[in-house]
Amino acid sequence: MTAYIIRRLLVLPIILIGVTLLIFAMLQVLGPVERSALYVRDIPHSETALDAVIRRYGLDQPFYKQYWYWLVGRVDPETGETVGGVLRGELGYSRTGREPVVDTLKRRIPMTVELAIWSMIPIVFIGIWLGIKAALNHNKWPDQLARVVAILGYSFPTFVFGLLVLLVFYARLGWFPPGRLSTEFSQEILKPGFVNYTQMVSIDSLLNLRFDIFLDSLRHLILPVVTLSYLSWALLLKVTRSSMLEALRQDYVTTARAKGLSEKVVVNRHVRKNALIPVATIAGTTVAALLNGVVITETIFNLPGIGSAAAAAALSLDVLTMLGFALFTAALFILVNLVVDIMYGVLDPRVRLE
């Protein structure tokens, strides 16, 4: 097992280089003029602006040179020092984030992680629980209810559902506002007395024993969590239900029942564990997707996570920022897949990680 994990981790940098190389190569389809869009304002007043920008940012350099400079940095002709270079821990300057790419990632990831953590609770518990209930009550009313809810869940566009709940529960009722915190608390957490341990407000507020801030942050998290989780647990419900139904039809289940085991024991010991393998795959992908940022939910609820930042970078052809996010996403998916593979072994002893 350990050797397997180490091998998978060793592949990580190769995959990261492959992903970034691919992005770099794809961007070469656009010429230097198109890629200068990020730096050139509409209606520039200086006729020399465009050429100067292309020269300055090396957009006319060959593709391999640009990639090499991004990877290992380049030598400043004046100072003789090497500047930039991912291998030196510098991802460059994010024009859309107006700060170094590393800082944008550092600042944005906690919000996304916080949202993912809170969303996973209802996604996993409601999704799996309802899926099991539906399967055990096949074609009875809990099953019908679960199916209707699931169909509604994954056929309801996020932006419609998000805007709808925002208009009803914020604009109309004033219960759950968007953003991270209310105005008074958002200034409060910037004061020296409040320690930002994790940059995740709901968790930091607990660690600072500020329950007023904690409650306020929960108030702000409810709508995005509902929006995100509703759509995701519908999928998990459907997969769990199908998987459970399939497991219930297996011979070993019939044998277990024939042996006189109680239904509770049959389900808990023999059915559920076997049915959870495909569920683990879906749950793993869902976690990765949530951690990778959910553009629409973050945009509608004004949450500064990495989804909305990545979307802004892509729309502006902000190459350096896009590469930073690509690195993060690739690493995340590899790690999540690794965790899912390990979980297979835990859930099903027949699966051996050789």
Partner 1 sequence: MFNKKTGLLVAMIMIFAVLLVACQPETVEVVKEVPVEVTRVITETVTEAGESMEVTRVVTEEVVVTATPEPAAPVSNAAPNPGTYTTITFGDPDTLDPNLAYDTASSGVIMQVMEPLIWYNHKDATSYIPILAMEVPSLDNGLISEDGLTYTFNIRQGVTFQDGGTLEPHDVAYTFWRGLLQSDVNGPQWLWLEPIMGYSTCYDITEGIDPECGLAGDPTAVQAADPDALAAVCEQVKAAVVPDDEAGTVTFNLAQPWGPFLATMAGFSYTLDQEWTMAQGDWDGDCATWQNFYSPGAENSVITDKINGTGPYILDHWTPNEEYVLVANPNYWRAEGDPMWEGGPSGVASIDTVIVKNVNEWGTRFAALQAGDAENVTVPLENYTQVDPLVGEICDYKTDDCVPSDNPDGPLRVWSDLPSVSRDNVFFNFGVATDESGNNPYIGSGQLDGNGIPADFFSDIHVRRGFAACFDYDTFIAEAQNGKGIRNNGPIIQDMLGYNPDGPYFEYNLDVCADELSQAWDGVLPDTGFRVQSAFNTGNTTRQTVGEILQSNLSQVNPNYQVETVGLPWPTFLRSFRAVQLPLAVSGWIEDIHDPHNWVQPFTVGTYAGRQNLPDELLSQFNDLVTAGVLAADPAEREQIYYELQQVYYDTAIQIPLSQALTNRYEQRWVQDWYYRVGQFSSYYYAMSLATE
Q: Which residues contact partner 1 (rule: CB under 8 A)?
A: 33-37, 39-53, 55-56, 77-78, 93, 95-99, 107, 140-141, 144-145, 148, 152, 163-164, 166-168, 170-174, 177-179, 183, 187, 190, 299-302, 304, 308-309, 312
Nearest approach, Cβ of residue 143 and partner 1 (Å): 11
H or E stretch covering 93: strand 93-94
Collapse the DSSP code of 317 into the 3-class scheme (helix H, G, I; strand E, B; otherwise coil) and give the result. coil
Nearest approach, Cβ of residue 208 and partner 1 (Å): 19
Which one, 152 or 215, has the nearer CB to partner 1?
152
Q: Output helix, strand, coil percentages for the chain, rounded to the nearest 5.
A: 70, 0, 25
Which one, 83 or 346, has the nearer CB to partner 1?
83
Which one, 51 or 246, has the nearer CB to partner 1?
51
Nearest approach, Cβ of residue 226 and partner 1 (Å): 13
Which one, 2 or 46, has the nearer CB to partner 1?
46
- Eight-class DSSP state of 339: H
Residue 328 has which token pair?
A: 């993060």
* Euclidean distance between CA atoms 234 and 247, whole angstroms: 20
Nearest approach, Cβ of residue 177 and partner 1 (Å): 6
Nearest approach, Cβ of residue 76 and partner 1 (Å): 9
Nearest approach, Cβ of residue 318 and partner 1 (Å): 12
Which one, 231 or 283, has the nearer CB to partner 1?
231
Report the amino acid identity of residue 262. S
Which one, 3 or 43, has the nearer CB to partner 1?
43
* Euclidean distance between CA atoms 236 and 126, whole angstroms: 9
Closest Cα to residue 244, out of 143, 131, 130, 148? Answer: 131
* Euclidean distance between CA atoms 335 and 45, whole angstroms: 48
CA angle 309, 312, 318 (to 5 degrees): 100
Nearest approach, Cβ of residue 114 and partner 1 (Å): 15
Which one, 284 or 305, has the nearer CB to partner 1?
305
Q: Please report which residue ranges of the chain form alpha helices under DSSP H.
A: 2-27, 32-35, 49-56, 63-72, 101-136, 141-155, 158-166, 183-188, 201-207, 211-248, 251-258, 263-265, 272-291, 295-300, 306-315, 319-347
H or E stretch covering 83: strand 82-83
